[in-house]
Every structure is written in structure tokens, then in C-alpha cells.
Amino acid sequence: MTEGLQGPAPDERPHPDGRRTKQGTRIDPEVEAEQDTRTAVVSALVEHEPGVLAKVSGLFSRRQFNIESLTVGPTTVEGNARITLVVEETDDGIDQVKKQVEKLRPVIQVGELDDDAVCAELVVLKVRGDEPDKVHAITQMYEGQTLDAGPRTITVQITGDQQKIDDAVDAFRQFGIIEIARTGQTALARGDTPTTPGEEPGHEKAAEKTRKDDTRTGTYDD
């Protein structure tokens, strides 16, 4: 009767930390943690069909991407919509966001916007109305608009880039913010630069979309 191999039992052997890539390469968690994250604005041109937003948001939920905001609205082409995603990830993570979104069946084109893109969002704030003159002054300072004013509350609207919105919200805190709603950023490329690859400068064109893989069904590959 032969004896087994010498050495510790399987449950006594050291097990390295970290996870593996799709190719089986183990990633050192300390090395992975050293990667810096950044905020990226990704624009996706999609077919405006029922469930498209659920597919995109479901992708982020499944993949656990760090999404900051998601907005959607119609374009100049009937039947199409533009989704603007703001994500905070490593460079590898942002690349994965673009690749995975592009695999979804309703998606026509996907692209990341440059840092000089025109970005804007809207915030609606309801504050206490004890100091209406001061509230009005802050609203004017941020080029906002008063939507509703009563004896107890004042509701205002501010539009602008993220920094302006953040500053305005901080300024209104002194009055006591009762409720707040923010749309999240929406964006277009500056000048004649297409917002998503494949668009003609100055004209959104999606009717002749070329799909390299028409077998896409809205599922996600690992």
C-alpha cells in the first residue's frame, strides 16, 4: 500500500488573496487598490424602445460599476435617444463600461466625452421661506429661477455644470433644505466634434447604423 504525497492537507495550505481575470491571471489586491479612479462622462446613442433604460441600469447593477448619474432623452432623430452616464472608475473600469454598454442590443454608438465637453444639470430645491429676500438673492446669484413661493416654503431651480450646482446647494443650506431633486449631468461634445463615434458633425445620424455583431440580445458577457 503506497502512502500519499508528503505535505500539509489541502485546508492547511496557504491560499493567496485576490481575484482572477478572465484569462485566469491572479490580481494582487494591493496592486489593484493602487489604481486611481476618475470621473468619466459616457454618451450612448440608443434605439428609444421600451426597456432600454432598464437594460442599461441593470448592466450597472450586475457589474457593480460606480455610477454617479444617468440621464436619457430624445435626439433629433425620431426613434433614437441619448443616454448620458457619469461613472467613477479606474481606466480599466471605464473601458469595461463602454464595452459592456456597447454590447446591449438597443445601443447604437458609445463614446467617452473629452474634458472640455459641454456638461449641464438641473437641481430643484425646496427651502424654508423664513427669509424670502435672502433666498431670492442667492437664486439670482446662481442665475436661477423661483418656481414657487409661499409663506412657509420657496422652491427654486438652478442649472449649470456640476461645480455650480454643488456650490448653489451649499449656499441654500443656510435656509434649511426641505427637499431636493437633481437630474444628473447631460452632455454634448464641444464644437463640431461628434458626441458619439459615427455621428456626422452637426447632424445625428443613426438610421444607417452598422452593427458588427447583430447577435446581441441585451445579455452581458463575463
Q: How far is CA 102 from the centre of its chain?
A: 14
Q: 12: which 3 cell numbers?
A: 492547511
Residue that the C-alpha cell 434649511 belongs to: 176
The region, left, alpha or beta by phi > 0 then psi within -120 to 50, assigned to residue 141 is: alpha
pLDDT, one tens digit for every residue, the chain (222 residues):
555 566 677 666 666 665 655 545 556 665 555 678 899 999 999 998 888 888 888 888 787 888 889 999 889 889 999 999 999 999 998 999 999 999 888 899 999 999 999 999 999 999 999 999 999 999 999 999 999 999 999 999 999 999 999 999 999 999 999 999 999 999 999 998 889 876 554 444 444 444 444 444 444 444
Calculate the alpha carbon distances from 8 to 3, 4, 5, 13, 14 in Å. Answer: 14, 11, 9, 6, 10
Q: Hey, where are the domains in the chain?
A: 33-112, 118-186
For residue 4, the model assigns a pLDDT of 57
- Please report the DSSP string for 68-91 in residue order: EEEEEEE-SSTTEEEEEEEEEE-H
Q: How many CB atoms lie within 10 A of CB 121?
A: 21
* 136-143 own/partner pairs: CB under 8 Å, 24+ apart: 138/168, 138/171, 138/172, 141/171, 142/167, 142/168, 142/171
**Calpha distance 198→201 (Å, rounded):** 9
Q: Taking the model in full, what pTM does it have?
A: 0.69
* Of the candidates 122, 131, 137, the residue with the CA atom closest to the CA atom of residue 152: 131
Architecture of domain 118-186: 2-Layer Sandwich (3.30)
Length of the chain: 222
* The CATH number of the domain covering residues in 33-112: 3.30.70.260
For residue 51, the model assigns a pLDDT of 80
